[in-house]
Amino acid sequence: MSLTACGEQRGTDVVANSSTTSPSSSSSSPGASPYVEPGIVDGAPHHGDNNAYRRSGEMSAASAKDAQKEADRIEPVLKRLWGQKKWDPKSVRAALLELGYEEERTGPKGERLGGTLTVRKMYPRYKTDHNVTPEGALIGLRVHDDACVTAFVQKTNFEVRTNGPFMESGCFEPPYGH
């Protein structure tokens, strides 16, 4: 078996009792890193450290239960909006505020001052030679200090999920690190 770039296993045509080995099975192949991080399949050095910003925090069992309860309230609203082709942040915010959520407010140094809901436009994406911001809305609902509901609604689909907060970006998964 060999692994593709995405980690998918593929069968290889190797004759039984073959005395040759493939370059990928040789431990002395040029460019191979001597360091393999525990838990990383492809052996990329420091993959976990380099992507720590994309890992959400842990949720307690009680917080996870509360977050799922809120996700279950939000999902039908996003499904309705998606069916009505209303995925702009203003429409999404208005519909979610009707559920009784309060917009999250922050101070000049980023400190939380109250509220739990943030609705904003989608992250820009690089396309050909410039950034394009797709139509749609990103939703973050802080349920507890350790629990969030993260969602989006856009032209092609919508999704609602629960997660712990991200180290540098609260309820929203950061699009890139520094």
Q: What is the DSSP string of 74-123?
A: HHHHHHHHHHTT--SHHHHHHHHHTTT--B-EE-TTS-EEE--EEEEEPP
Q: What is the pLDDT of residue 34?
A: 54
Radius of gyration of the chain (CA): 22
Structural contact between residues 161 and 151, judged by C-beta atoms closer than 8 angstroms:
yes
Beta strand pairing call for 125-127 and 130-132? antiparallel
Average pLDDT value for residue range 19-36: 47
Residue 46 has pLDDT above 60, yes or no: no
Beta bridge mates, 159: 152
Q: Enter the pTM of the model.
A: 0.66
pLDDT of residue 57: 53
What is the pLDDT confidence band of residue 111, given thresholds at 50, 70 and 90?
confident
